[in-house]
Structure 1
Amino acid sequence: MGISEGCFIFGDSIQEQGFLAFYRSLPEDYYTVHGDDALLMAKDFFKTMAVIKYWGHKKVESVSLSKLNFESTVRDLLLIKQYRVEVYVSRIKSGKTSDWSLSYKASPGNLTQFEEILFGNNDMSAAAGMIAVKVVSDDGNKIIGVGYADATLRKLGVCEFVDNEQFSNLEALIVQLSPKECLLPSGDNLTEFSRLKEVLERSGLLVTERKRGEFSTKDIAQDLDRLLYFKKTDQINSAALPEMDKQHAMCSVAALIKYLELLGDESNFNQFKLSTIDLSLYVKLDAAAVRALNLMPNANEGGNKCQSVLGLLNKCRTAPGQRLLAQWIKQPLLDVNRIKERLNIVTAFIDDTTLRQILQEDHLRRIPDLQRLAKKFQKKKATLQDCYKVYQAIQNMPLLLDSLEKHDGSHSQLLMEVFTNPMKELLMDFSKYQEMIEATLDMDQIENHEYMIKADFDDTLREYRTEMDKLESSIKHQLNKDEKVMRNNKMYHMIDTKKDGVRFRNTALEELNTEFRDAKLSYEEQQKSLVEEVLGIAGGYVEPMQVISDIIAQLDVLVSFAHVSANAPIPYVRPNILETDCGLIKLKEARHPCLEMQDDIAFIPNDVSFEKDKEMFHIITGPNMGGKSTYIRSIGVVVLLAQLGCYVPCSSADISIVDSILARVGAGDSTLKGVSTFMSEMLETASILRTATNKSLIIVDELGRGTSTYDGFGLAWAISQYIATNIRGYCLFATHFHELTALADAIPTVTNLHVTALTTENSLTLLYRVKPGVCDQSFGIHVAELAHFPKHVIEFAKRKACELEDYQNISLTDVGLSGSEEEAVKKRKTIKQEGEQLISEILTKFKSIPLFPLSAKKRPSKRLKNLNRKYKNMRIPTYRMYLLEEPFVNCCKGYIMKF
C-alpha cells in the first residue's frame, strides 16, 4: 500500500519470492506503504524514520501498518490533510505471483466506501460533499454551472449564475455549501483555469481534473431516472424537471455522477433528491471573512474549542445537530421572519431553564445518528443492532415531546408548530415498527449486548437456544471454583490476577466454550432469513427516519444557541432585527464571544454605530496590539450571530439585515502558489469592490502594508474613497496610515475612531477602548520596547523617526532625546520649512508666467538661474512634491525635478 500523491496502494509491483513469503506470514488486515509514500508516512505520521524497512533488491522504502494504525491514518489523510486514498488487494495465484486490483477508494468529497473505517460505531459529526464547476464565456460574461453532490445524504444540487473575473459568486457558494473537493474539466483556458483553481484552493478544496467528455448531458436524463426518488404515484421523467433548464449545471452533475460511480451501486437507485441552490437566500460570505471571523476551527486550535465560532456554539448532543450547526454558520439568513422565528424559539429555551437542561442533558443525548442509520438501511448494510437503536430512539421521543408540551411560555405555540405536531405525526408511522421489534428481537439477550431473533419464531431456533442456555449454565458452574483449588494446580492455566478475582482457563472450560460458540453460530445461521425479513421491513422507514433526524437536528442547534447565550460570562441579549432598508446598526458594549471565553481575560466592550447617510464608514487608528483588529472582528461576529438567529454578546443591539459580510484581514505569502502577500490583498480587495453593495458589511484591516508606503497609502485612500462614495455600505477600516483620517473632512459619512493608550517615558498601557477622533501618535517604538529591543536600537529608531517627521506632533523630549539632539532635529525641521516656503513663493510667481512655448535657443533668465542654484544648494527633498497643487506640478514638473 503506497500513497503517491495521497493514494494508498496495498503492496507494490514487487514479485519476488521473498516478498510473497513475507506477505503470507503477515496477519489478517495488514497494510504496507512504499516508496516516497513510505517516507511521507514516516515523517508526517510516525515522526521518525526508524519505521522504514527496505524490501527487495531495489531497496524499496516500506512502512508496515497495523489495522488500527491504518484506520487512524486514513482518517487523517481524508478528513484533515485532504488526500485521495485507494486500497489495492492482492490475490495469490499458484503461490508464485499476485494479482493486484483496486478494492476500494475515497476522496475528501466521497467517503462512502470508507464510512465504516472512518466512523465505525461513532456518529458522523461532519458532512462530506463535493462540487463540479463548468465555466462558459458568453459575450464577455462568465456563466458558471455548478453541480453539488453529497453521497452520504443522497443529495444533488444545481446552481447557475453569471460571475466576475474574481469568481466572487462562486466563492460565496463554496462557503455556503462547504464542499471538500471540486471537479474541473481539463483543457480549459490556462489563464482562466489557474485563476479559478486559485479561488478553489483558497477556499480549501481539493481540485480534481476530469476529461471534458465527462461534462456532458448526453445521458443525464436516463441516469437521473434511475437515481432520483419518485413517489409511486409519480411518473418517472427527469427530463421534465425545471433543473434540466440549467444546462451547464447539469453538465457538472453528470461529471459528479460518473466520478462518484453512483450508478455502480444499486442501493443508490431511487434514493437521491435534486434541488436548485438559491444564492439569494443567505448572506454572502467570502473565504477571507470565514478566516477573519474565525468561524471554523483549525488544526492549530488545540484543545480550546472556543477559539472558533463553531466550537463556541457547538453544545449539540446529536451528530445531525453538529452537522446542521456547521451548515448554518456559513448560511446566515436574509429573511427577517425566519430569523425572528429562530430567536423566538431560543428565547423560549432561555426563559425555561428546566426545559433547556432536560433536553440537553437527558433527551437529546439519547438519540443516535438517524441520518447515518437511514443510509445503512438504504445500502442494505444495517444489522439487528441498528434496528434496535432506531427502536430506542422512537421509544424516547414521547418523553421529549412531553417536555416540550409542558412549556407554558409565550412561545409555546411556536414550539408546538415547529417540533411537537410534526413529530407526533411521524411517530404514528412508527407504531408498527415498534410492534415488529418487540415481537422479533430477544430483549433478554440485548442486555448481554447480543442481538438475536426470538427463539419462539422457529423450532430449530428454540432447540439451539435451549442448548446455549444449558452450556452457559455449565460454564458458570465451572467458573464457581474456589481460588485456593486453582492455585498450584496443573489442570488450571492462570491468565492474570485482579483485585476482584483470577482469570483462568482449563480444558473443561475450553470445551464448553467451543460448544457454546458452535451453537451460537448455528443459531445465527438459522435466523438469517428472519433477520433479512426484519431488515427489509425496517428499510421501509428510511424516509420518516430522515425527517425525524432533521427536526431533532434543528431542535438541538437552537437549544445549543440558548445554552451558549445563557451561560456566557455575561449573558447574551436578543438583537432587534430590522429590515435591510433601515440602514441602521447600533451595538452597545459589543464583545467578541470567543475572546471573552479565554482564561484570565477581562474583555473591554465597545460600541459601534452605523446610520444610513450619516455614518457608514469608520476609520480606526491606534497602536499595534491596541485592539483594532479584535474590535472590527467582534462587530462582524455579532452581526453574523444575529442573522443566524442567536442572541449576541452586547448590552443592546439594533441590526439591519446585511446581504454580505466581506473581509480583507491579514494575508500571508503562498510561495508554492506564487501568490505574495500584496497580491493576495489586491485579489481579495478587488473581489470586495466588485461584490459589495450598500447593504454589505465590509471589514478591512491594514490594507496596503505589502508595498511601499506611498503606494500603500495611495491605494488605501482610493479604495476607502470608492467604498465610502460609490458602494456606501457599512465599513470598518483599521489602518496605520494616519493620513487616511483626512478622508473624514472630505466625505460626510466617514467617521474617525481610535483605540486608546497611555504612554510614559518607559511604558505603554493599552486601554482597548474605542473612542471618537484620531489617534494623535504612533506607538511602534513603544511596542518595540515592550518586545525588549536592544536599547541602542530603540534610541536610533527614535532619532530616525524624528528626522522623518513621523513624530512631528510629539514633544521631542517625550521620546527620550537629549537637549543637543533635540536642537539638531529642530534646526533640520526649520530648514525644511523655510525651503518649503521658498518653493511655495516661487511657484506662486511661476503661475503668473504666460504659458507660451519658449524658443529652443532661449535660455532661462538670470533670476531663474539664481533660484535654481539657491534651492539646489538647500537640497530640497523631491518627496515634498506631493504638497504642490496637481495642475501646477504637471506644468512645472520638468523644471522642479532639477532641484
Structure 2
Amino acid sequence: MEISQENFTPLMRQYFRIKEQYKDAIVFFRLGDFYEMFGDDAKIASNILGLTLTSRDKSKENPISMCGIPYFAANSYIEKLLREGYKIAICEQIGDPKTSKGIVEREVVKVLTPGTFLPEGTKENVYIMAVYPQKTSNEQGRMGIALADITTAEFIVYETEKNLFDEIVRFEPKEIIVPKSLEDLLKFENLINQRMFTLFDDWKFDYMLAYKSLIEHFKVSSLKSFGLEDFHPAIQAAGALLRYLEENKQETQFKQLKVLNLSDFMLLDGTTKKNLEILSSLDGQKEGSLLWVLDETNTPMGTRFLRNALSCPLLNKAEIEERLDGVEVFFKDFVLRENVDRVLNDFPDIERLGLKIKKENISPRELKALKEALQRIPELKKTLQLNNSPVIQNLLNSLYELNEVVSLIDNALADNPPNTINEGGIFRDGYNSIVDELRTLKNQSKDYILKMETEERIKTGINSLKIGYNRVFGYYIEITKPNLKLVPSHYIRKQTLANAERFETKELKELEQKILSAEERLKIVEEELFRSLIKEISKNTEQIFKSAETIGYIDFLCCLAKVASKYKYTRPEITEEEVIEIVEGRHPVIERLIQLGKLPEQRFIPNDLSIGSKDQRIIILTGPNMAGKSTYMRQNALIILMAQIGSFVPAKEAKIGIVDRIFTRIGASDYLGKGQSTFMVEMIEVANILNNATEKSFIILDEVGRGTSTFDGISIAWAVVEYIAEKIMARTLFATHYHELTDLAFSYDCIKNYTVVVKEWGDEIIFLRKIQKGGADKSYGIQVARLAGLPQQIILRAKEILKKLEKKEFQTFQSKAKQLDLFFQGDPVLAELAKIDVENITPQKALKKLKELKEMIRND
C-alpha cells in the first residue's frame, strides 16, 4: 500500500525519498547512534532479528511501524538479514549537524548483499557469481560464469557446459546474478525461489557494454591478453557482475582477471561432495569432514587455499608432484615445520588487509595488525633459508620483507590506535608538530588558562582577576567594580554584572578559539595524515598481495606435512596410468574419530585396493550391513582426492592413476517436496554418473536398485554393471546385497568379486572389517537385526520365513524369467546359465559346465 507523505515530517519525507530509490533493500537509516527501519522494512527486520516493533507518529491515522539497532552493533544484525537473503542499504549522515540548516543531509553509502558482506572472523572466500547462458537454436550451449570475492580482490571468469548446480557446489557462492529472462525457465524454477538468486536486467549483460567495462576496469586495450576474446558468454557474465557491484556501491579494483581452465581441475558434483563429507559432515558441521581432519592451518590465507584445493583437486601430474614435493620438504624437516608453524601462529589476514589498503578504507587498528604481520616476514624468511631445497628457494623469491612499510607504520601509529579514524589518538607523540600542539591544547587547556590568569594579575596588579567560561559568552576576564579603574585600555567590555564587569582580549579570544576547536581540528588533521599514510603504503600493495599468496601456500604445505606426520600418512606415487594400488588404506575421518574416542571401535582396520588393470576395473563388493563396505569405498575415494590435492595419504603405500572425476551414489535421499521419491533420486544420480563418467573416472555405487522390488532392483543393478563394463570402463566399486551379481565375474574378465569378512559363532557374527577376494553367500540381515535390538519373537519368525524363501528362491527366480529378459534375451550363455540346477549339481558337473560356458564366450 502506498503511503501518503503529505503530513509527514521533513525527516520522514527524506526517508521515503531514499527508500523509493532502494525498493528491493531494507534501508538502515542513521539517526544519531541508531540505525532505524520504518514501514515494511521494520516489520521484516523485527521478525527476523527479534526486535520490538513500535510506531512513529502514533497520533496520526496511519502510524508508521519502526524498529532500530545501535550502529556500533550493526554487523551481527546485518549478518542475520543477509543470511535470509535480504539486501541492506546503509544510509548515513553526510551533512554536518552543526552547519546544516534543517534536517541533516543523508544518502545511501553502501548496499550490502549476501555476496558482498564479510561476516566477522570468516576465513572462507565470499564469492558472488554471475551467470549468462549462451543462446542457441537447440537451447544447448555453453554457460558464461564470473566470480568475484570483493574481500580478496579475486575476479575469475570461465565457460562451461556443465550444469549450473555443479558450478554452485564447486564455489559455494553467497549470491548469484542471473538475467531476468531466465526467471520463467523450468531449469531455474526450483532455484529462483531461493533468495541467493538475484534477477538483473538483461540489457546489463550486453556484450559490448560488458567488454568495455572489463577493459576499463583492468586497464587493457583488449581482452586478448587474457585469452578471453572469443568467450562471449563469460564476458557478458563478467561485465554484468562489475555493473552489479558498481550499482550497489561496492567498487573494488580487482587484482587481475583470471581465466579458469576447467580441464585443469577435477569436478566434484554436489552428491559426491556431500557423500564423501569433504567440507562438512552430513549434518552440516565441520567436525566429521575431511576438512576437519586436514585443517591445521594457521593463517586465513592458508585456510582458503586448503578449502579451494579440496573443492578443485588437480588433474595435471606435474602440478600435483610440485605440491607433494613441497609437503615432503616440511614433512622430512621437523625443525623447519615447527619453526614455520610458530611464526605463522595466529597470523592476520594480510590479503584482506592489503585490499583495504588499496581501497583506502583500513582502520588504524587494522593497520597496526598489518604491521605486526609484516614484521614476522623477515623471521619467516630466515627460518626458510635454513633449508636449501629448490622448493623453499622458489618460495623465498615470492616473499617480500617490506621493512619500509613496517617503519612507516611503526613511526606513525600510537601503541594502541583506535578502531576508527574519527576518534582521534591515531598517531604517537612527536610524529607531527601540528598534532602535538593540538593534542596539548586539548589535554592542557586548563593549564593554559591558569597561566594566562596569573600573567594578567601580574600585569594589571588586580589580585582578584579571574578567567572564567560559560557556553553563551565563552571565555572572559572578570573584574570586580572596585578594581575597574585598573583595567587596561586594550580590554574589551563583554558583559556587565551587578558587582563586576567581564572583558575579553585579543589573546584570550585566540586561545579560546584554539582550545574550543582543538579537538575537532585534531580529528581532521589526524584523518588527513592517516589518509596520506595509507596512500604512501598503498604503493606496496602488489608486494603485500604476493606475500599473502605465498604465505597461504606455505601454510597449506606445512599444514599437510603436520597432519601427515601426526597421523602417519605416506606420499602417494602419481601416475598417468589408470591403475590404483592402495596398500593398507584407512579412512582419514573414521580413523580420527576412533582416536578421539568418538566411535566405539578400538582401532581402524586398514584394507588394500587394486583396481584399474584390464582384468580388474570393476569390483563387486558383497557383505552384510555394518561390515564396512561403505567405509571402504569412501576411504578409497578420499585417498584419491587427497593425493590429487597434493596431500600425503592414509595408507602404507599408494599408487594413484589420475582420476578425472569421482562419482558417488551412496545412501537414500528423499525429495518428496519436489515430487521425487528415494528411488527416483537414486535413479537420477545413477543416470548422472553413467552419462558423465569416462574410463578415467572413479565410481563408487552402493546398493543400486534397493529402492524397488527385488527383481526390478537386480535387473537394474545388473544392467548398470554391464553398461560400465562394456561402455565406460571406469574404475568402479559396486557394493550390493544382490549376491546374484557376483555371477557377472564369469562373463567379464574386468569384473572381480570381493567381500567383507565376518566370523560366525552360532547366531552371533563378528565384523572383521577386512576385504578379501570372493563373494558373500548371504547377507546376515537377521543377525544384524538382532544386534539392532529387534524382539526375539521377530528374529525367530524371520529365520523360519528365510528358510522357506531360500528353498523356493531359485524356482521363483526362474518363474520370473520374463521379468529378466534384460539378462537373458538373445544371450545363449546366460540362457544356458539359467538352466543350471544349482541345488542338485555336483562339483564335477559344475566345473565341466563352467568350462563349456567359457568356451561359448570365447567362440561368441
Identify whether the pair has TM-score above 0.5, normalized to the shorter chain: yes
| Contact residue 275 and residue 282 of structure 2 kept, 8 A | no
1:387 shift after superposition:
3.3
Match of 1:587? 582
What is the alpha-carbon distance in structure 1 between the residues aligned to residue 294 and residue 7 of structure 2? 55
Alpha-carbon offset, residue 249 of structure 1 = 1.8
* Residue type at the aligned position of 2:667: G
Aligned counterpart, 2:461: none
Structure 2 CA distance for aligned equivalents of residues 673 and 683 of structure 1: 13
Contact (CA 8 Å) 1:334, 1:657: kept in 2 or not?
yes
Q: Does structure 2 conserve the Cα–Cα contact (< 8 Å) formed by 1:173 and 1:279?
A: no
Deviation at 1:706, TM superposition (A): 2.7
Q: In the alignment, is the contact (CA less than 8 A) between 2:146 and 2:234 conserved in 1?
A: yes
CA distance in 1, matches of 2:216, 2:30: 45
Aligned to 1:259: 244
Aligned to 2:507: none
Q: Distance in 2 between matches of 1:330 and 1:98?
A: 49
Residue pairs, 1:387-426, within 5 angstroms: 387-407=367-387, 412-417=389-394, 419-423=395-399, 426=400
Report the alpha carbon displacement of residue 609 of structure 1 after superposing the two structures with TM: 0.6
SS at structure 2 position matched to 1:136: coil
Q: 1:282 to 1:886 in 2, by over 3 A?
A: closer
Q: Indicate the residue corresponding to 2:566 in structure 1.
A: 567
User: For structure 1, which runs of at least 5 residues remain unmatched after alignment?
Assistant: 1-10, 231-235, 475-514, 809-828, 841-875, 890-899
Cα distance change on mapping 1:208 and 1:432 into 2, 3 Å: same
Aligned partner of 2:113 in structure 1 is: 107
Correspondence 1:132 to 2:127:
no
In 2, distance between residues paired with 1:70 and 1:457? 34
Give secondary structure in 1 for the equivalent of 2:434. Answer: helix
Q: Spell out, residue by residue over 1:574-621, the C-alpha distance to the aligned partner (whole angstroms, 9 max, x if none).
A: 111112xx2211111111111111133421111111132011111111
The CA distance in 1 between the partners of 2:38 and 2:433, in whole Å, is: 51
State the shift of 1:700 in Å. 1.2
Which of 205, 210, 218 is equivalent to 1:215?
Answer: 205
User: Which amino acid letter does the alignment assign opposite residue 426 of structure 2?
Assistant: M
Query: What is the Cα deviation at residue 681 of structure 1?
Result: 2.0
The corresponding residue for 1:644 is 645
AA aligned to 1:463 is E
Cα distance in 1, alignment partners of residues 209 and 301 from structure 2: 34
Q: In the alignment, is the contact (CA less than 8 A) between 2:430 and 2:436 conserved in 1?
A: yes
Distance 1:26 1:218, change over 3 A: closer
Distance in 2 (CA, whole Å) between partners of 1:576 and 1:124 is 32
Corresponding position of 2:544: 545
Do the aligned residues in 1 keep the contact of 2:620 with 2:742 (CA within 8 Å)? yes
Q: For residue 612 of structure 1, what is the aligned residue in structure 2?
A: 613
Identical aligned residues as a percent: 27
Number of the residue aligned with 1:28? 33
> Could you tell me how far apart the structure 1 residues matched to 2:283 and 2:52 are?
26
Contact 1:385–1:451 (CA<8 Å) still a contact in 2? no
Asked whether 1:268 is paired with 2:252, we answer yes
Q: For the structure 1 residues 761 and 206, does the alpha-carbon distance in structure 2 shift closer, same or farther, using more than 3 Å as the test? A: farther
1:332-481 mapped onto 2 (5 Å cutoff): 332-360=313-341, 362-365=342-345, 367-407=347-387, 412-417=389-394, 419-423=395-399, 426-427=400-401, 430-442=402-414, 452-456=426-430, 458-466=432-440
Alpha-carbon displacement from aligned partner over 1:630-662 (angstroms, at most 9, x marks no partner): 110000000111111111001111111111111
Q: 1:244 aligns with which of 202, 226, 229?
A: 229
The equivalent residue for 2:262 is 279
SS in 2 for 1:789: coil
Task: Count how many residue pairs are aligned between Structure 1 and Structure 2.
Answer: 729
Deviation at 1:711? 2.3
CA contact (8 A) 1:615 1:751 kept: yes
- CA distance in 2: counterparts of 1:90 and 1:614, whole angstroms: 71
Match of residue 86 from structure 1:
88
* Distance 1:196-1:631 versus aligned 2 partners, 3 A rule: farther
* Secondary structure, aligned partner of 1:753: strand
Unaligned runs of 5+ in 2: 13-27, 449-513, 829-860
For 2:405 and 2:29, the matched residues in 1 are separated by: 47
TM-score by length of 2: 0.75
Q: Is the 8 A contact 2:298 2:344 kept in 1?
A: yes
1:279 to partner: Cα distance: 0.8
CA distance in 1: counterparts of 2:292 and 2:203, whole angstroms: 42
**1:331 lines up with 2:312 in the alignment:** yes
Note the alpha carbon deviations across 1:271-312, whole angstroms, 9 max, x for none: 45223210110122211111111111258355xx44111122
CA contact (8 A) 1:624 1:783 kept: yes
Q: 1:72 aligns with which of 59, 70, 76?
A: 76
For 2:276, the aligned partner's letter is: L
Alignment CA distance shift 1:219-1:16 (3 Å): closer
Which letter does structure 2 place at the counterpart of 1:416? Q
Deviation for aligned residue 1:251: 1.8
1:702-734, CA deviations, whole angstroms, 9 ceiling, x for partnerless residues?
222333332222221111111122111111111
The 1:883/1:187 distance shift into structure 2, 3 A limit, reads closer
**Following the alignment from structure 2 to structure 1, what is the Cα–Cα distance between the partners of residues 711 and 778?**
19
Match of 2:670 in 1: 669
| Separation (CA, whole Å) in 1 of partners of 2:657 and 2:259 | 28
Q: In structure 1, what is the Cα distance between the partners aligned to 2:588 and 2:6?
A: 57
Task: Determine whether 1:194 maps to 2:198.
Answer: no
Structure-2 separation of matches of 1:445 and 1:545: 22
SS of the residue corresponding to residue 397 of structure 2 reads helix
Answering whether residue 773 of structure 2 is matched by residue 772 of structure 1, we say yes
Correspondence for 1:322: 303
User: What SS does the corresponding residue of 1:794 show, helix, strand or coil?
Assistant: helix
Alignment partners' CA distance in 2, 1:527 and 1:331: 46
Q: Deviations over 1:27-70 (max 9, x none)?
A: 8325569879968976x876xxx977899799999876566875
Distance in 2 (alpha carbons) for counterparts of 1:753 and 1:37: 63
Which structure 2 residues correspond to residues 601-750 of structure 1 after superposition, within 5 A? 601=601, 602-750=603-751
Q: In the alignment, is the contact (CA less than 8 A) between 2:571 and 2:649 conserved in 1? A: yes
Q: Could you say which residue in structure 1 is the equivalent of 2:465?
A: none
Q: Hey, what's the Cα distance between the residues in 2 that align with 1:461 and 1:59?
A: 49
Q: Which residue of 2 aligns with 1:867?
A: none
Q: Deviations over 1:182-218 (max 9, x none)?
A: 333333496xx433566x799x993333333332113
Return the offset for 1:524. 3.1
Paired letter, 2:313? P
- 1:824-860 per-residue CA deviation (whole Å, 9 max, x = no partner) reads xxxxx59x96x99xxx9xxxxxxxxxxxxxxxxxxxx
Q: Could you list the per-position Cα deviations for residues 308-365 of structure 1 after superposition, in whole angstroms to 9, with x for gaps in the alignment?
A: 11122111111111111111111111122221221122111122222212211x2112
The RMSD of aligned alpha carbons is 4.3
Q: Kindly tell me: are residues 12 and 52 of structure 1, through their superposed partners in 2, closer, same or farther at Cα, counting changes over 3 Å?
A: farther
- Going from structure 1 to structure 2, the CA distance change for 1:389 and 1:74 (only over 3 Å counts) comes to same
- Please report how far the alpha carbon of residue 440 of structure 1 lies from its aligned counterpart in structure 2 after TM superposition: 3.4
Tell me the amino acid that sits aligned with residue 748 of structure 2: I
Q: Cα deviation per residue 1:253-279 (whole Å; 9 max; x = unaligned)?
A: 2322232226955x535x452232101
Point out the more displaced range, 249-258 or 521-530.
521-530
Q: Distance in 2 between matches of 1:352 and 1:471?
A: 62
Q: Does 2:790 match 1:792?
A: no
Q: Which of 215, 234, 250 pairs up with 1:225?
A: 215
Q: Specify whether residues 718 and 878 from structure 1 end up closer, same or farther in structure 2 by C-alpha distance, changes over 3 A only.
A: closer
SS at match of 2:142: strand
The 2-side partners of 1:437 and 1:400 are apart by 20
- In the alignment, what sits opposite 2:591? 596
Deviations 1:862-885 (A, max 9, x none): xxxxxxxxxxxxxx8898987996
